[in-house]
């Protein structure tokens, strides 16, 4: 999605204050830019705008302009003023369902930022939000029946919120009461036609490789996701690789290395493995020890002479059941030494 298309969606979803050209104190501001994806909107948004936008997702992609009354009657019950809300189809029903499925994970998944927002008798989908310095907190969520948005903060963003308020508790209390008092049956998000399920690797978003993606250093990365029929991945994961590392040099093992550790790692760029501290110094990212770069993959051990061709590094043969295994060269496929009964041409 381009910034311009994202800007168009915002306008269609009722965010009237977004601008593609506004001069403030001599500086030009434009919301049709990348920072908008992170909420960097020139004039901000209101809870009403967000409520209507999230309700469009709950309504299968149809936006309904908020109204505060529908009609006014006189003393005889005759309609003197009618205010029918305007509706606009912003995106497809299948797209709305996929968004809902993603937003449900915020509430339902263990460790999700909205995990404490489940209702007793109703599914919830939504998104939490904070700004830098913890000066704003949001939760935008919906059930099959109602949408509600809550914001907590100071008007001038002058203070960090800390433990002053738990906005999530307020949201849940209100929504729980609404659904209990109206005696609504437990709803569900109806899956439209054209939606299919597929197993993918959570790290790459591609089809999983057996023996690699399910043996990630942090556990099984194979998950089931929903897709429209025309967006199901067709390529296989290239993030996970099975590597053999010389225990002495720390580089990719050759057939001459006497002690080798075979393990599954994640392939990343060098930039993604390094972070930058406040003082400008570099440091390893949290997953640096389970990640490897193309440069590191091509760096062969120079301590031990290869007796045959170097060890093979592949994106997966699919046979490893252990994430990390220390072996001697004589017991591995890439050892270079063979028993007399197991010679290879």
Mean pLDDT score, 13-32:
91
pLDDT band of 271, cuts 50, 70, 90: low
Alpha carbons 143 and 123: distance in angstroms, whole number: 6
pLDDT in tens, 63-80: 999 999 999 999 999 999
* CATH H-level superfamily of 46-181: DD-peptidase/beta-lactamase superfamily (3.40.710.10)
| Statement: residue 278 has pLDDT above 90 | no
Confidence of residue 274 (pLDDT cuts 50, 70, 90): low
The predicted-structure confidence for 84-105, as pLDDT tens digits, reads as follows 999 999 999 999 999 999 999 9
Smallest CA-to-CA distance from 58 within 224, 187, 169, 179 is with 187
pTM: predicted TM-score of the whole model, two decimal places: 0.74
pLDDT tens-digit map of 295-339: 899 999 999 877 655 444 556 544 334 444 544 332 223 233 333
The string of pLDDT tens digits covering residues 41-52 is 888 899 999 999
Supply 182's token pair.
């109206």
* Average pLDDT rounded to a whole number, residues 204-211: 96
**Is the backbone of residue 221 left (phi > 0), alpha (psi -120 to 50) or beta?**
alpha
E-strand ranges in the chain read 22-24, 27-29, 62-64, 71-73, 79-82, 87-89, 125-130, 136-142, 147-153, 195-201, 222-228, 240-246, 259-267, 274-276, 282-284, 291-292, 324-328
Q: Domain ranges in the chain?
A: 46-181, 240-342
């Amino acid at each position: 999605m381009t910034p311009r298309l994202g800007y168009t969606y915002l306008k269609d979803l009722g965010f009237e204050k977004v601008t593609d050209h506004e001069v403030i104190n001599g500086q030009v501001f434009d919301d049709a830019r990348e920072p908008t994806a992170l909420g960097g909107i020139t004039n901000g948004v209101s809870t009403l705008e967000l409520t209507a936008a999230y309700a469009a997702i709950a309504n299968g992609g149809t936006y309904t302009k908020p109204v505060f009354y529908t009609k006014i009657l006189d003393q005889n019950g005759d309609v003197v003023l009618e205010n029918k809300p305007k509706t606009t189809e912003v995106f497809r029903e299948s797209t709305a369902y996929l968004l809902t499925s993603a937003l449900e994970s915020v509430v339902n998944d263990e460790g999700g930022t909205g995990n404490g927002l489940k209702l007793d008798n109703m599914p919830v989908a939504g998104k939490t939000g904070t700004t830098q310095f913890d000066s704003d907190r949001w939760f935008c969520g919906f059930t099959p029946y109602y949408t509600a948005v809550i914001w907590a903060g100071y008007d001038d963003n002058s203070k960090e919120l800390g433990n002053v308020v738990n906005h999530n508790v307020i949201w849940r209390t209100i929504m729980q009461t609404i659904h209990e008092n109206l005696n609504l049956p437990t709803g569900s998000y109806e899956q439209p036609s054209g939606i299919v399920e597929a197993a993918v690797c959570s790290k790459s978003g591609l089809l999983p490789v057996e023996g690699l993606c399910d043996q990630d250093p942090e556990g099984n990365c194979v998950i089931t996701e929903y897709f429209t029929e025309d967006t199901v991945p067709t390529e296989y994961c290239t993030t996970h690789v099975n590597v053999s590392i010389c225990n002495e040099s720390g580089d990719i093992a050759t057939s001459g290395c006497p002690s080798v550790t075979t393990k599954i790692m994640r392939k990343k760029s060098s930039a993604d493995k390094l972070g930058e501290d406040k003082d400008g110094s570099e440091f390893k990212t949290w997953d640096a020890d389970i990640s490897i770069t193309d440069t590191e993959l091509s760096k062969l051990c120079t301590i031990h002479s290869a007796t045959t061709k170097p060890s093979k590094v592949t994106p997966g043969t699919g046979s490893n059941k252990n994430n990390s295994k220390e072996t001697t060269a004589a017991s591995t496929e890439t050892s270079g030494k063979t028993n007399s009964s197991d010679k290879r041409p």
